[in-house]
Amino acid sequence: MSAEATNPEAHPEARPELRRRGRTRLDLRRLGRAALLGPTSRDRLPDAIGHVAEAHRAHYPDADLSILRRAYLLAETSHRGQMRKSGEPYITHPLAVTLILAELGAETTTLTASLLHDTVEDTDVTLDQVRAEFGDEVCFIVDGVTKVEKIDYGAAAEPETFRKMLVATGNDVRVMSIKLADRLHNMRTLGVMRPEKQARIAKVTRDVLIPLAERLGVQALKTELEDLVFAILHPEEYESTRALIAAHAGERDPLPAIADSVRGVLREAGITAEVQVRPRHFVSVHRIARTRGELRGSDFGRILVLVGENADCYAVLGELHTCFTPVVSEFKDFIATPKFNLYQSLHTAVATPEGYVAEVIVRTRQMHRVAEAGVVALGNPYATATPGAATDPDEERVDPTRPGWLSRLLDWQQSAPDPDTFWTVLRAELAQDREITVFRADGGTLGLPAGASCIDAAYAQHGAAAHGCIGARVNGRLTSLSSPLSDGDTVQLLLAQDASSGPAAEWLDHARTPAARIAISSWLEAHPDRAMAPTSAARAPLSVVGARGGGGNAVADLPDATVRLAGCCTPVPPDAVAGFLVRGGAVTVHRVHCAAVAQMRAVGRTSVAVHWRATADCRVTLRAESFGRPHLLADLTEAIAREGVEVVSATVEPPVEQRVRHSYTLQLPDAAGLPALMRAMRDVPGVYDVSRV
């Protein structure tokens, strides 16, 4: 924003995307002279804002420009006499920022706020004046972009400014659109700053603004910011990349010929499409060079195919894969599965008969607009469906474009009052460049960063109540809280009924989201005695043993042999079983898929044929997983007794993270009653799983 401007021609070669797209460049000196002339007649726009009006009308032919005229006059009057460090009138900065947004397709309210974005911060204009003249929306956006006073916050001013801006972005994404354009213009004109200040601004841009531009889908700003930061922070690598691109410029470029071939293929197929060659920007070339080593001519750009409808994208893909040799590993479908930043396209790569491999991007024109401008291309997301419809001024504004990462950020920042913690965690959060979506058991969804665990899902879904989480089911299977989640998983989180339960210190090793880490750390700091306590007491399991039977209704083909049902797998009719002769002449019976069967055979135990008697009674061992609570053992035993089943033995393990495991060896009068018995045990309050051992 204010004061970071200088030579407008600094780093011109770091802006290849800008020149290739034919974007109008502001002549700051001419604009400065126009600005100094002051207001013009009321029937036309000032000359200095003509660029903005032209760019805006290209996207909105019927736009009312009168509000832009009034905003410009207020900005020019209030900034009059202020100069940038380059020596230009200060008004050239809000003009340049507004032009950037106008070219991206921002609507009139955004452009109005952009012209005024520094007035409250750097002049005597107040928010009340902005509200009275331009309305609540413009006032809200201007306030969101205005820095907090350094005199009030000291060294915490920058983190608190970003916190304020992100909170405002949660209610109106246009706040961050203006901030990104503002930083882009300041980065373009950073040359007269001291090198150490250039580096400081570039690092914040790299760590915070570029990830935000990526997440909001504003690729046109993100790519240019990347190149400008690259030139400042890595001058040697930047120069070598620039030399590489310059050397390629003197060679024959195979991409135009490949593009002509693609046009011919699509023309013959009757597909109306626009085919372009899109040169890579500096950072992209640098990344490709590091990945592939020596670059070929087709590596310096990509082919872009623009069509009218989604179905046309797949028709183009079919023709390309039919007429060229596809590189299967390079195919990605971001139309069926869009990225978390609104991006949609088909990506593929094809090999030509000459041996070149060309990357191809296929998208509709609307997808292209969103890919370039992201949330800026969505216009006004707050326009009511019915013009003139009344809205409740006290009702919280809901941004339909707010993605999951922004909602998470807004949640956890409330628990990070310390500016240093907020600043550190914000950078770490923005460094996560990929998201996954997991499904909740109740049918909702959770957006989480890649690598998130069940612990992260617990805090994302339940907040502070996740302190009592004791386990999870992922895709129907019990798993530990440390288990990482994958895109598309279904997760059911199991919460303890004991309100005093809390997280273990080990959870921090598996928590990836700031919300989870901050919540766990805060709880552990508030409960230092619990944080140091072991997760479970070193106690022996409680065992209750009844009269033990022998082999139940299993019979071995060995006269007078004692038959025993193995406790490891507790076979019951009609399980397929195998018998083995053990010490003392007894025969142990296992289910054929039991791991002990392979071990018996490996040590050379004698195999004995075993079959079931015609009687229906059987013995089985069941394991009940439950939350810890009083009288649980009594309730389970009563449920078993109601089914007419005898308890041969029972073992209760010590609680671990509020979970208790019960193992029962049971004598059933009829094996057919086993499913009903397991259902009865699951119906006991606190029991969440019953399974055979």
Q: Cβ distance 364 to 312 under 8 Å?
A: yes
Q: Give every CB contact of residue 395 below 8 A, 6+ residues apart in sequence.
A: none
Q: Which of 107, 122, 359, 372 is catalytic?
A: 122
Cα Rg, the chain, nearest whole Å: 34
d(Cα 22, Cα 103) in Å, to the nearest integer?
11
429-458: buried (b, 16+ CB within 10 Å) or exposed (e) per residue? bbebeebbebeeeeeeebbbbeebbbbbbb
- Point out which residues pair with 554 in neighbouring strands: 612
d(Cα 496, Cα 517) in Å, to the nearest integer?
20
Cα 631-637-642 angle, rounded to 5 deg: 125
Q: Which of 54, 121, 646, 653 is catalytic?
A: 121
DSSP state of 447: E
- Outline where DSSP puts E strands in 228-356: 274-279, 301-307, 325-326, 332-333, 346-351
Bridge-based pairing of strands 610-612 and 274-279 is unpaired
Q: Is 498 helix (H, G, I), strand (E, B) or coil?
A: coil
d(Cα 232, Cα 520) in Å, to the nearest integer?
39
Nearest residue to 160 (alpha-carbon basis) of 172, 174, 150:
150
Cis amide prior to 574 (ω within 30 degrees): yes
d(Cα 162, Cα 422) in Å, to the nearest integer?
10
- Point out which residues pair with 610 in neighbouring strands: 556
Tally the residues of the chain.
693
Q: Is 656 helix (H, G, I), strand (E, B) or coil?
A: strand
Q: Cβ distance 59 to 108 under 8 Å?
A: no
Nearest residue to 326 (alpha-carbon basis) of 297, 359, 294:
359
Name the phi and psi angles at 165, rounded to 5: -65, -40
d(Cα 394, Cα 205) in Å, to the nearest integer?
35
Q: Where are the alpha helices (DSSP H) in 105-173?
A: 108-115, 119-122, 127-134, 136-145, 150-153, 157-171
d(Cα 169, Cα 147) in Å, to the nearest integer?
14
48-72: buried (b, 16+ CB within 10 Å) or exposed (e) per residue? bbebbbebbeebbeebebebbbebb
Amino acid at 286: H
Q: Is 196 helix (H, G, I), strand (E, B) or coil?
A: helix
Token reading at 311: 């179905």
The widest CA-to-CA distance across the chain, in whole angstroms, is: 117
Token reading at 559: 């006269």
d(Cα 117, Cα 130) in Å, to the nearest integer?
10
Phi-psi region of 227 (alpha: psi -120 to 50; beta: other; left: phi over 0): alpha
d(Cα 304, Cα 155) in Å, to the nearest integer?
46
420 is annotated as an active-site residue: no
Q: Give every CB contact of residue 566 below 8 A, 6+ residues apart in sequence.
A: 588, 589, 590, 591, 594, 596
Amino acid at 304: L
319 is annotated as an active-site residue: no
Which active-site residues does the annotation give? 121-122
